Structure 1
Amino acid sequence: MRRNILTGLAAVLLLVSCNNNEKMLDSLADYNNAKEAKGYHFGDKLDLPKEVTDHAESISISFGDKETANLVVDPQFFGLGDNEVVFVIKTKNGETLNQDATINVFAKSPEQNLSYTILADYPHDPTFFVEGFLAEGNTIYESDGLKGASQLIKYTLGSTTPTMVKKQPADIFSEGCAIVGDKIYQLTYQNKIGFVYHKNTLEKLSEFPLPNVIGEGWGLTYDGKNLIATDGSKNLYFLDTDNPSKVVKTVSVAGNTETYDKLNELEYHHGFIYANVWFKPVILKINPETGEVVGKFDFTQITKENNQGNEENVLNGIAFKGENMLVTGKNWPKIYEVAIK
């Protein structure tokens, strides 16, 4: 009889424990879902529901290779944008519960809407599928994509005839490029390699494997110390110029209310990174130290005027001619010179 009573009590306790665990996880899921769109900012505290905290001995957040019991959004653990984490809850009755969650972290200050004035426009060969775009004075270096049509070219602003052409093998899809001293570094889309050329002759000097973390090559620029690459995600990858296969650091990009992924063609100018966003007629101004988007240019009108009704002909080309910005796009017939206000 006593054994039956003890067995019955154990079953009741187990049922209560299961119910408490289920309520804790449901409550945590509801909380996470409610916060996902609104997001957090660095320094915010995660105020978890009482259903969780009242029954938890300890709560920590796991990032896979690291874990913290500090329920504050600390940049030591969190990056801007979406952070895939696991809540690890040790209950007061000795059980361990895990729940996956996405914690979005946004920039504290809203990005400014930046204005500009169009000063001039120049002809551009509309057969060129622009992936990388550079300027040194009136000399343009351009990396054009598509298999069978990829090339690195050099021409004078205002002319549509290249003064120098480096054709790529038919299986290569060229992407972003950057100038470092007398060299041009160029990414490829899915070939997992990059090339190094002599700037004056476009002679290929060497090639290098892309870092494993970079799934695809998209944009590339140089900040005076590191090459900075994009791969279509929210990330900026800082690469060792002497060994571009090595990632020095990774910075995630976000604005005040959204994460920006599909970062594409890049340009570094006066301490900021300017980035195209694939399929959006905007150029972002990004603080490279934090990944915060501090400003945004809207080029909707000139995109409509130049994409010839083809949505694939996106805005994708940023360079600087002195203090003025040059912008163009894939298969666009024009390059625009704009003064930033």
Structure 2
Amino acid sequence: MLDRTDVQAAAARIAGRVRRTPLMPPSDRDAVWLKCEFLQHCGVFKTRGAFNRQLAGLETGEIGDAGVVVASGGNAGLAQAFAARDLGIRATVFVPQSAPDVKVRRIEAYGADVVRVGSEYAEAYDAAVAFGERTGAALAHAYDQLEVAAGAGTLAEEILEDEPSIDTIVVAVGGGGLYAGVAASALGRARVVAVEPELCPTLHSALEAGRPVDVAVAGVAADSLGARRLGDLAFSALEKEPPTSVLVTDDEIMDARSSLWSEFRVPSETGAAAAYAALLSGRYVPEDAERVAVVVCGANTDPATLG
């Protein structure tokens, strides 16, 4: 079970390895704070969990000569490859055929071995597990691993240290690692709004079914939010305190992405724009005087598509 002590331990472990990203205050035209995690190493929050996972594995001796293996739609692979290069660890990254070339090229540039397998994340994950069992490489899960989720939750610690009056933190959800970490950090201090694309609603479906269930994966944000099933850590978090669950359309995500670029010059990838889409579209309407922070957490996109 993940709790705030795990997040605090992660913050201490990764200090000096990751950036403390800024919390942009509200403007006259937008009454929300933006947690600028797109400025993190690799442009994504997953770098926090990658360092926490690998440093913890080195401490216990779990990570040896075979290094780490991870399955990823792109961003988790980037983060694990970056951390491995920094720590002198071998990294092997399994990605589906649909992984964006811009991400795959960067993973390779960090020195990791990249293997393309299958059409979606779940197939890459099965191949990564088999590789680890065969070679002894330690599995670094993209989202459903305590060290990974605890590392992600450190951004919520920063939000509530920088602005303790925040009432609500809005996050995008795929497999739920970021949600699980933020929920653990924020429990008793701020509510969490969990935003998903309508075309890959893992958390929303788990809430309805009362357990994690497989969902179809499609849409503009599938490369980063396209997990087939909510992770167990995220499900445990929603059982402890259910979040406000919000679904957004692909068009709303693309509108939010365009707005983040035109209004703030934030180069957001589609998955990272999903959280902001909940507010821009009116799918989530804050109460009067509610103080809301939105996590914008991915900048691995083709700049030519920003408009």
TM interval, shorter chain, is: under 0.3
**If you compute each CA radius of gyration, which structure gives the higher value, 1 or 2?**
1
Under a length normalisation based on structure 2, what TM-score does the superposition of the two structures give? 0.26
Higher helix share: 2
Which structure is higher in RCO with an 8 Å CA cutoff and minimum separation 6? Answer: 2
TM-score (norm 1): 0.24
More strand by share: 1
